[in-house]
Amino acid sequence: MRSCRICAAEASRQRALGGAKVRRFAAVTYQADSWSRPRRVVIKAEALEKGMNIRFVVTSRTDAPEALYQWFTQRGDCPELCIKDLKEDCFADRLSCHRFWANQCRLLLHAAAYWLLDTIRHWLAQPQGAPSATGHLAAAPRQDRRLGARSP
């Protein structure tokens, strides 16, 4: 795509002048052979020390290119990380019973434990104003996550 080359060249040129990483965004209309209609494609060209980092997002949204790319990258963080926390820190992937309702009940209890731990983590982080309120459950020491545990 011509627009991609222009965006990448501009980012490279500005990086050569300033030395720091430079991000440039653009939006174009593109239609692949297999697509029934043209689609909007947002281009992110980032000039780094290692070289160019070019990414594409195909979308139907009409937001500004930079705002849309930021929304798109942040959108993926929450669901995947929440699922990871649920599986790894609350052991929600341990559904070893042979009966459906036993596994269903176990999964519901794991989800309730996740909600409780996440709520406590947010409450503890709020008064201090710490940015860790959006961190992962694994960041807290495991002994602090045992409910009913006594502190030494």
Three-state secondary structure string covering the chain: CHHHHHHHHHHHHHHHHHCCCEEEEEEEEECCCCCCCCEEEEEEEEECCCCEEEEEEEECCCCCHHHHHHHHHHHCHHHHHHHHHHHHCCCCCCCCCCCHHHHHHHHHHHHHHHHHHHHHHHHHHHHHCCHHHHCCHHHCCHHHHCCCCCCC
pLDDT band at 20 (very low <50, low <70, confident <90, very high): confident
39-82 pLDDT, tens digit each: 999 999 888 888 888 899 898 888 899 988 888 887 766 666 77
Quick one: what percent of the chain has pLDDT higher than 70?
78
Q: For 131-144, write each residue's pLDDT tens digit.
A: 544 555 555 544 44
**pLDDT given for residue 38 in this prediction:** 92
If one compares 119 and 83, the residue with the highest pLDDT of the two is 119
| Domain range summary for the chain, segments of one domain joined by + | 2-75, 79-145
Res 21 pLDDT > 80: yes
Per-residue pLDDT, 40: 92
